[in-house]
Amino acid sequence: MTAPPTAGSATAESATAAPASGKAATKHVFQADMVRVLTFACVIAVHTVSTVNPLDSVPGGAVVMLLHFTREAFFILTAFVLMHRYRVSSLRVAPFWRRRFLLVGVPYVVWSVIYTGLGLVTAPLAPADAATTLLRNLLTGTAWFHMYFLLVSMQFYLVFPVFRWLLRATRGHHLLLLTGSALLQVAIDLWLHDPAPTGTKADLLPYLGSFLLSYQFFLVLGGIVALHLDRVEAWIRGHPVLVVAGFVLTGAAAEGWYWWSIVQGVGAQFATDVFQPLMIPWSVAVVAVFFVIGSAWSDRRAGGRFSRMVEGASDRSFGVFLVHPAILWAVTVAGVDSPAAQLTPPWSSFAAYAVAVVGSLLIVEVLQRTPLATPLTGRPQRSQLVPRWLVGRAQLRRRAWKAAGHEERNDDRHPVGPART
């Protein structure tokens, strides 16, 4: 499992000691690619439903309730990837910070400017007020509804050396640590899920979703799973029925709680609040099921086109995360005259979702082949003109053969030996 990930999140890897050199070797965790892709598909869905439908839509809220695991999953994945990458490998703090803050911090600033600008399109401000708004957005992660994730990720990168030390220092006591963290998360959620905050609390609540401690359990869980991946994976693989049962039961409980809240007169927006204790087991259950799906896929993957599509989508997920709200804004900003408003629910959500997914993938594909790749997608510029997932295996083999200095027969099928110089 992995962020994002975000661009700053490393490719999911498991480190093992290399017997000859004593250095840490890495092994890709393919399940993480599927978990990441499924999570990002769901985050676009929750943003689509929330953007296209009124915030107080009761049917829309029923869907959002089940999709509101995504931010918790993000942080589980982020901590998992980083802790897995550095569970054996040494951590050089300065290079670690430099890379993470380059690949996440720069896009954070750039997209905060972009989204603040989009906000000013519909709510213009005087230049001085606009500058103040931009500064506040940068400091609080509130330029748009998804930017908090980048700010919290950077907070986690900042404390990761201490986080890593803590998990390594408490080996043998991780169950106790996880239990204490879960209880603390319940207390945090109860405090944050306040229908009528007053005073200083009312002033702080709009920004606490951008604060690291608001998600501490999910980070601790991801880190601990990374250190015990073999045992956790073996348990999940050995108990798929229990994992699915947990998914069904916690999902039913979350949905039941939502409808009970609605019956009690609670508004749909507050009833779907992500900071509710019930969301803790639901989020964990969803990630576990996604890992089961990822395991089934990784066991059968053979480098075919579908596998390359999953891996390609995983690699582009951070860019898609950054771009897709702008597309949703474009199809809804005109209100009743917007493209999304020309369809009735739920078709408006389905159409907007398809446009957001396809549009953001295409935009990211183009951006990653320009000098703007890093500031806009958090990834280095690509030189390959044709996406790898569109290329057949035979073509990839031919390219690899030619890159090694070999010629091909005229029928373009069979390599014949080293090229003459």
- pLDDT (tens digit per residue) in 52-92: 999 999 999 999 999 999 999 999 999 999 999 998 888 99
In this structure, which amino acid lies at residue 161?
A: P
Q: What is the largest distance, in Å, between two alpha-carbon atoms of the chain?
A: 81
pLDDT given at position 415: 33
- Taking the C-alpha atoms of residue 262 and residue 259, their distance in angstroms, rounded to an integer, is 5
Give residue 100's Cα distance to chain centre: 15
pTM for this model (two decimals): 0.86
166 forms bridges with which residues in the sheet? none
Q: Is 385 exposed, middle or buried (0-12, 13-18, 19+ CB in 10 A)?
A: exposed
Residue 17: partners with Cβ closer than 8 Å, 6 or more residues away: 23, 24, 25, 88
In this structure, which amino acid lies at residue 252?
A: A
Q: Which residues of the chain have pLDDT under 50?
A: 1-24, 389, 394, 399-421
The Cα angle at residue 81 between residues 79 and 284, in degrees rounded to 5: 55
pLDDT given at position 387: 56
pLDDT given at position 298: 86
The answer to whether 164 and 91 are in contact (CB under 8 A) is yes
pLDDT given at position 284: 98
Secondary element (H or E) of residue 108: helix 106-122
**Which of 400, 403, 382 has its CA nearest to residue 391?**
400
pLDDT given at position 33: 86
274 forms bridges with which residues in the sheet? none
pLDDT given at position 9: 44
pLDDT given at position 25: 52
pLDDT given at position 309: 87
pLDDT given at position 403: 46
The answer to whether 24 and 40 are in contact (CB under 8 A) is no
**pLDDT tens digits for range 175-192:** 999 999 999 999 999 999
- Taking the C-alpha atoms of residue 61 and residue 334, their distance in angstroms, rounded to an integer, is 23
Query: Both tokens of residue 122?
Result: 């519909």
**How distant, in Å, are the alpha carbons of 174, 239, 288 from that of 235?**
17, 6, 11
Q: DSSP code of 226?
A: H
- Taking the C-alpha atoms of residue 83 and residue 168, their distance in angstroms, rounded to an integer, is 10
